[in-house]
Amino acid sequence: MTAVHPRITIEADKRDGKPCIRGMRITVNDVLGWLAHGMTEEEILDEHPGLDKDDFAAVYAFAAETADTVYGKNYR
């Protein structure tokens, strides 16, 4: 397991190597998608009790840090 950000891990054999939260099978994109479709953090926590409030900050930070990277190029 590789930690790429606090609370965000990548495992080649889990979810096709997508960034996941704390080694779970919930990806950063899962959480962002749920939020984009109108779910609140509380609704997500209710449906996924393995998550906790601090996971959202990690998802947002990871997304912000990787937003400038397109096709493997860093535009910072």
* Domain contains 75: no
Structural domain contains residue 7: yes
- What confidence score (pLDDT) does residue 40 get? 98
**Residue count (the chain):** 76
pLDDT digits (tens, 9 = 90+) for 33-73: 999 999 999 999 999 999 999 999 999 999 988 887 765 66
pLDDT of res. 70: 60
pLDDT at 76 over 60: no
pLDDT given at position 21: 96
Give one DSSP letter per residue of 22-45, joined into a string.
TTSS-BHHHHHHHHHTT--HHHHH
Give the domain extent around 30: 2-67
Predicted confidence at residue 15, as pLDDT, reads: 95
Residue 18 lies in a domain: yes
pLDDT digits (tens, 9 = 90+) for 4-42: 688 999 999 999 999 999 999 999 999 999 999 999 999
Could you tell me the sign of the dihedral formed by the alpha carbons of 37, 41, 47, 51, in that order? positive
- CATH of residue 29: 1.10.10.10
- Structural domain includes residue 72: no
- Note whether residue 74 is domain-resident: no
In-domain check, residue 76? no
